Structure 1
Amino acid sequence: MTMVNLNEVLRDAKKNRYAVGAFNYTDFSTARGIVAAAEEENAPVVLQVAESHFPYISLEQAGKEAIYLAQNAKVPVVVHLDHGVDIKTAIRALNMGFSSVMLDFSTKPIEENIEATRKVVEYAHDVNATVEGEIGVMTTDTGEGKPDYNHLDDNYTTVADAKKFYESTNVDAMAVSFGTVHGVYREKPNLNFKRLKEISEAVPVPLVMHGASGLSTEEYRKSVENGITKINYYSVMSFNVVNGLKKYLNERTDQTFLYDVDMKIIDLVKNDLKEKISIFGSENKA
């Protein structure tokens, strides 16, 4: 299976009302687990690395690992830069062979966001790659100062801004804010499905959910029903894998070696993500 870009998987997802899982990795074992989950579920998948994770894995190393896995996978795999915060980083990723990039200028003034995203779109389309942009500000729950869950609507994406952003950038996918929060939720989020549906009806491109860790099955499915076609899921998976690994190591009575840990990580990632792929509705869509 050859590596694909976002358009090659998200257009069908939008048409047939399911979402493609987009999962982050910071090491080769996690990346292998992501692809293994997609292969066992016969699902397309987005294998992505975030610029914020570059202290743990470089863009060059992450790219080589993902491109190798994508080119040898049994299912369509998008190799994607997640939350790129610099135009130069996005261009570097495209020059390396990433099939898709995200430029996140969502905290900047809308005109600056539009101008930067448009530049990356023009470059990416010349090399048959895709671009995800973000309009509206996503709140983050770091555990060190909880966001005000009662006023998340202050940062919701507006329909007018979404239309302007799409029409001015020709972006391939759009991340929008409708109440989700980056990190692990410590309170129940207040998701505005009405706003999400309005945006979906106003722009023709697939919509992306960030901050999808910890939502209920019903919330995932209702998000898909109202226009989400790419779901970014990482924080809870990371938490679950670490705790599963702790349990595994504490229960081992024989000698444990590094390769045992690597294989266990692959298995834990795979099993966590297989469940999500099924919930998102992308199983057997490869």
Structure 2
Amino acid sequence: MALVTLKEILAGTRAGHYAVGGFNFNGYEDAQGIINGAVAKNSPVILMASMGAVKYIGLHQVAGMVKGMAESVDIPVCLHLDHATDYDLIKEAIKCGFTSVMVDASAKSYEDNIADSKMIVDFAKQYGCSVEAELGKVGGKEENIVVEDASAAFTDPDDVPRFVSETGIDALAVAIGTVHGFYKSEPKLDFPRLQKIVEITDCPLVLHGGSGVPVEDFKKCVQMGMSKINVGTELKATYSNAVRAAVAANPESEFDPRKYVGPVKDACAKVVEGKIDIFGSANKAF
């Protein structure tokens, strides 16, 4: 089926008490593995490309590849530009077929975050594209986005209603204690803060930094109303480990590159299937 927007894919999440996984990819093999995992679970899925990924693969190449993947399956697939701070890149992504973009102005002042996010929303509306924005700062490192733990700031619930209303965003990433990358110690999520945010907005909420969060914390976030959960670093590690294992298992006389990178598809699919079970989105394809 054709690519769907983030707004469409998240529409029934809060009422249905499930979340849709947003999975980062860096090439064909992991992207196809993500799709395969979602198909196996009959789940909607969000494929996310970072700014680094689109610079590596090519913006139009990403759009064409994922569009082709989506059209060959019967589950809803959304193509999302993740954590984008380059507004020209965001606009190009929208124009070339991305169905969702994240404008990350969280490092700016509250007023500037509103103004910049609204500007992208107004542009995206012309193309029927959804927009996610972030309020507060999620710590850790994700490619070009680096937020020291001391600079990480939890989302202030009081800032949410005006931000959502004035920007017109389709999804809101909130900072409640997760970080990008692997955790040095077990994360402590601020569930009372999440509860307050859920109570004051109907806007679908997004959890960044999903690699390494305990299963029970994931489930609690979903039951409380989290609609989208991002997983990136875990899939990067899965990709690399699958290639290393394939190289170790094959003789030096083997020159078919598919023997080395092909296993990535199955390895990533298994990770995605496991996350779908946790997020509760199995059999939620529409």
What's the TM-score once normalised by structure 1's chain length? 0.93
Q: 1:256 to 1:265 in 2, by over 3 A?
A: farther
The corresponding residue for 1:23 is 23
Change over 3 Å in CA distance of 1:28–1:178 after alignment to 2: same
Instruction: Give the drift of 1:138.
Output: 0.9
Aligned positions of 1:216-235 closer than 5 A: 216-235=214-233
Alpha carbons of 1:160 and 1:86: their partners in 2 closer, same or farther (altered >3 Å)?
same
Alignment identity in percent?
Answer: 34
SS at match of 2:128: coil
- Deviations for 1:162-204, whole angstroms, at most 9, x for unmatched residues? 1221011110000000000001111111100110111011111
Matched residue, 2:200: 202
Distance, in Å, in 2 between the alignment partners of 1:183 and 1:87 is: 24
C-alpha offsets along residues 146-177 of structure 1, whole Å, 9 cap, x if unaligned?
Answer: 955xx78x610001111221011110000000
Find the aligned partners of 1:90 and 1:240 in 2 and give their Cα distance: 28
- Residue of structure 2 equivalent to 1:268: 267
Q: Distance in 2 between matches of 1:240 and 1:47?
A: 16
1:177 corresponds to which letter in structure 2? Answer: A
Q: CA 1:206/1:238 → structure 2, altered by over 3 Å: closer, same or farther? A: same
- Relative to the length of structure 2, the TM-score reads 0.93
Q: Say which SS state the counterpart of residue 274 (structure 1) adopts.
A: helix
Q: Which residue of 1 aligns with 2:237?
A: 239
Look up the match of 1:250. Answer: 248
- Distance in 1 (CA, whole Å) between partners of 2:214 and 2:112 is 35
Count of paired positions = 282
Q: Contact conserved, 2:137 with 2:147, CA < 8 A, in 1?
A: no
Structure 1 residues 55 and 122, CA gap change in structure 2 (3 angstroms)? closer
CA distance in 2, matches of 1:120, 1:56: 23
CA distance in structure 1 between the aligned counterparts of 2:148 and 2:238, rounded to whole angstroms: 23
Distance in structure 1 (CA, Å) of the matches to 2:157 and 2:227: 18
Q: C-alpha separation between the residues in 2 aligned to 1:164 and 1:257?
A: 55
Structure 1 partner of 2:165 = 167
- Partner of residue 284, structure 2: 285
Contact 2:20 2:279 in 1 (8 A): yes
CA distance in 2, matches of 1:92, 1:134: 20
Change (3 A) 1:146 1:63: closer
**1:168 maps to amino acid:** E
Offset of 1:256 from its aligned partner? 5.4
Residue 12 of structure 1 aligns with which residue? 12
Match of 1:190 among 188, 192, 203: 188
User: What letter corresponds to residue 190 of structure 1 in structure 2?
Assistant: K
CA contact (8 A) 1:141 1:184 kept: no
Q: Distance in 2 between matches of 1:31 and 1:134?
A: 25
1:88 aligns with 2:82: no
Asked if the contact 1:26/1:62 (under 8 Å) is kept, the reply is: no
Residue type of the partner of 1:155? A
Q: Which runs of 5+ in 2 are unaligned?
A: none
User: Would the aligned equivalents of 1:94 and 1:124 in 2 still touch at CA under 8 Å?
Assistant: yes
CA contact (8 A) 1:141 1:185 kept: no
Alpha carbons 1:49, 1:81 under 8 Å: kept:
yes
Separation (CA, whole Å) in 2 of partners of 1:240 and 1:262: 12
Letter in 1 for 2:12: D
Runs of 5+ in structure 1 lacking a partner? none
